[in-house]
Structure 1
Amino acid sequence: MQALIQPKSFMGKGLSCIADSRGQVIISPTDLDPFLQLDSIFFEDGDPETVQDIQQMREDMRNHRDGVVTFSAVNGMELILSYNAMQAFDWVLLTLVPADLIVSEVNVHISRMFRIVVGMILVPFLFFMAFLRTYWNHRRQLERFAFMDPIAGGINHEAFGLRCRELLSAQPKGTYTMVSMQLRNFNLINEAAGSAEGNATLRYIMETLRRHLREDEAACRGEGEHFLLLLRENQPLDVQRRLDEMLTDINSFNQTRDTVYLLTFQQGAYLVEDPDLEIAVIEDRAKVADREHSGGGCVFYDAAFTKRLQREHDLNAMFRGALEQGEFQLYLQPKVGLEENRIAGAEALVRWEHDGEMIYPSDFIPLFERNGNIRALDFYMFRRVCEYLAQRLQENRQVFPISVNLSRQHFRTSNFLSRLDAIAEGYRVPRGLIEFELTESIFFDDQQIKAVKESIREMHRYGFSCSLDDFGSGFSSLGLLKEFDVDAIKLDRRFFLGLSQPKAKDVVACLIALASRLGVSTVAEGIESEEQLAYLRQLGCDMVQGYLFSPPVPAEALEDWMERFMKESEERD
């Protein structure tokens, strides 16, 4: 029995014995000495607090309750005595343990648990920090892709809109001005130096603009070579001063160049009087003013622009109904072949007649170019041309090639030529009777030039021909003539306004000779005088078009003109 109550824990330093409920030792360990003093614990006076604890212990033992008592031995050692009631014989198991041993073991357990808890906290924390780092790196990458301009640097158009909304919301109305700046002749830079140099130019401009911005202002590159700025200025003179400073800085690179090349911009601005307007509306108003820029200072949006915008809104609203009602009329302007002095072709032009009012192309063509309606209008007019040719073929009348203008918008889609071919096939119109006129404005970057090249090849595969309209109106026309396999060029009317000057005559003569050598037909447009006509005959120009022969006339009236023209020609002969 003594062996059974020998201590198995507390590193062998604990002692146990069995006593009755009065504290008399019944069974003790082999070393009885530590318990011989229990009588003094139970029956002698001592520390009042200890006496109170002992009295509580004696009461617990009589009532078979468990408990713990802490007291000091004679030698001053702190001891812990636990008592546990036993079911048999009204006995109690007493266990005596040094207090410092309990504290030591508790400290060991606490230290172990502390390390475990720290580990449990630290490991997830490290994982969480690693996750946060990955998340923020990923977010920064997404923001860079979503909100940064990869070509010009700085924020992109989407981020610019968010920044503008933030700035406008924080200040009273009339604090800011939206500025639109468009780089002129950017296609020349791309053509002469390549797209890489063009992109470098855009980056240089953007960096320069950003240097001139204050903390509460913003700038971005819009589409292509278009830049937008939100300046904290509300007076036109202050806006113009800021823009002049920026443009001077942009062109400062010329100080180290032998040949000066100025970067010039169209400039338009809108004082933001209503900060609650959509950012797109605010930008559009600055762009509307930008398009009115013809040199000199910045153009500011005003009430007249509002009236025109309302007019444009009305035209947009009327467009679909006008198509369905056949309000767009086919007009033709004849081209006269100089060798045979007879009609050699015609150009298809559009007029819009609404409720007895004639709406001219200058009122709606630029608008439809911007909003994309021009594509639907081009298909509609092409169908009208095919109807006209099919009718003349059916009536066995003279037919001649008709040139149709194609908007640059078509070259952003991949199947427009197949649709046009299907329309011509539906009317059984020979493809050689259709010529597509392309303007220089469609060639605005390398990617577009490649697309147009392929489109011209596809036109020829279908059997259509194509011409380059307004040739000479831009500085890159000769380069385009080298790049594209066109069938004809239409010399811009500005060439013929100054034919009294020898240099102007020489330029026209060289262009016609060059075209002839390349196997390209020439059409002189805007011819209004006999003097111009005589000079073009002398140079061997193939065709002329202009008011000297006829203004654009309704398609159904062209037959009457042809009869009169043939009669007059015969009389002259």
Structure 2
Amino acid sequence: MSKLSPIVLLDVIQQQRFGVEYQPLIHTHNLETIAHEALARFYRADEQLLHTDHLFNELHHSPLTLFQVEYAMKQLQLAHAPAGELFLNLDPDAYAVADITGEENPLLSMLQQRSNVVLEIIENSDISDARQSANMAQAFHKKNIQLALDDIGSPHSMLSLPILITVDCLKFDRSWFNQLYLPNHRIALESLIRYAKDTGKRTVLEGVETAEQLEIARQLNVDMVQGFLFKQRFIQIRA
């Protein structure tokens, strides 16, 4: 993974070269906008967009800085959010920094002030990350904040059964589109969608970029879709 120059990273943080992109979650059949997901964006001084994963990877070397950036980003995402339901990603490591026994986490305090928030729990690649996600999910669940399990089926990820059972929404990774011709993969996806229907959970299929993929989503009977097919509905904000 590419490393960011410390000078670039420091400039981004000090100057708060932050942005947010709101991507719509679309009803699979009538194509109405049901909700939005807020996605973090970061920029160089020359306005060049930075790779979000690369920046967060560097921030993980400094937990307190990670928390500070995540807190500022959530403030931005909440301040400019469209009306209606809002899906938010939250880094479990950033949450853990301020998760002190006997005190309410500032990130939790902030997010529970807005109604219609859905916290996205990211699938994890190792056991320690899974524990962090589970602890965060439990805290938000106790506050009656809805939860979504993100990136289900993405490469190099784990599926936590306790989190799968706890969440209110299942979001399926775009990589499923490359695997549906494999019978076992299609059966697995259809089974997870059926489980969601049977237990009252909503479903989202990510990475919908073509009309053909939208038709696949309709055949699978997922509730919502998300992707570049609906790019004209994206909303971009700069700090």
Q: How does 1:80-479 map to 2 (within 5 A)?
A: 311-323=4-16, 327-358=17-48, 359-372=50-63, 373-389=65-81, 399-409=83-93, 410-415=95-100, 418-424=105-111, 429-430=114-115, 433-441=116-124, 444-445=127-128, 449=131, 452-473=133-154, 474=156, 476-477=158-159, 479=161
1:466, 1:488 → 2: CA distance?
6
Across the aligned residues of Structure 1 and Structure 2, the Cα RMSD in angstroms comes to 3.0
Question: What is the CA distance between 1:331 and its match in structure 2?
Answer: 0.9
Higher relative contact order (CA 8 A, sep 6+): 2
The answer on whether the counterparts of 1:417 and 1:459 sit within 8 Å (CA) in structure 2 is no
The count of aligned residue pairs is 232
The amino acid across from 1:320 in the alignment is I
| Residues 329 and 554, structure 1, Cα contact 8 Å, conserved in 2 | no
User: Matched residues in 1 for 2:105 and 2:30: separation?
Assistant: 35
8 Å Cα contact 2:92/2:136 also seen in 1:
no
Higher mean C-alpha displacement, 353-362 vs 377-386: 353-362
Question: Is the CA contact 1:529–1:548 (under 8 Å) kept in the aligned structure 2?
Answer: yes
Which protein is richer in helix relative to its size? 1
CA distance 1:556–1:354, change in 2 (3 Å) = closer
Match of 1:488?
A: 169
Q: Distance in 2 between matches of 1:421 and 1:455?
A: 9
Q: State the structure with more CA Rg.
A: 1
CA gap of 1:489–1:374, structure 2 versus 1, over 3 A, is: farther
Q: State the Cα distance separating 1:421 from its structure 2 match.
A: 4.2
Segments of 5+ residues of structure 2 without an aligned counterpart are: none
Whether the aligned pair in 2 keeps the contact of 1:333 and 1:551 (CA below 8 Å) is no
Question: Are 2:125 and 2:157, in contact at CA under 8 Å, matched by a contact in 1?
Answer: no
Shift of 1:454: 4.3
Equivalent residue letter for 1:313:
P
- Cα drift, residue 465 of structure 1: 1.4
- Partners of 1:370 and 1:538 in 2: how far apart? 44
CA distance in 2, matches of 1:334, 1:549: 8
Residue of structure 2 equivalent to 1:224: none
2: CA distance between counterparts of 1:411 and 1:510? Answer: 33
Contact map agreement 2:108 2:140 (CA 8 A) in 1: no
Query: 1:440 deviation in Å?
Result: 2.1
TM-score normalised according to structure 1 size: 0.37
The letter for the 1-side match of 2:159 is: S
Task: Deviation per CA, 1:232-262: give whole Å up to 9, x if none.
Answer: xxxxxxxxxxxxxxxxxxxxxxxxxxxxxxx
Structure 1 pair 551/490, CA: closer, same or farther in 2 (3 Å)?
A: farther
Distance 1:442 1:465 in 2: 23
Between the aligned residues of both structures, percent identity stands at: 22
Question: How has the CA–CA distance of structure 1 residues 380 and 529 changed in structure 2, closer, same or farther, with 3 Å as cutoff?
Answer: same
Distance 2:47 2:140 in 1: 36
Deviation for aligned residue 1:443: 5.7
Structure 1 residue 376: Cα displacement: 1.7
- Sort the Cα spacing of 1:464 and 1:479 in 2 relative to 1 into closer, same or farther, 3 A: closer
- 8 Å CA contact 1:315, 1:364 repeated in 2: no
Residue-by-residue CA offset, 1:106-142 (whole Å, 9 max, x unaligned)? xxxxxxxxxxxxxxxxxxxxxxxxxxxxxxxxxxxxx
What's the counterpart of residue 546 of structure 1?
227
CA pair 454-421 structure 1, distance change in 2 beyond 3 A: closer
Is the aligned partner of 1:523 residue 2:211?
Answer: no
Amino acid at match of 2:119: F
1:478 shift after superposition: 5.8
Deviation of 1:462 (Å)? 2.5
2:118/2:148 contact within 8 Å kept: yes
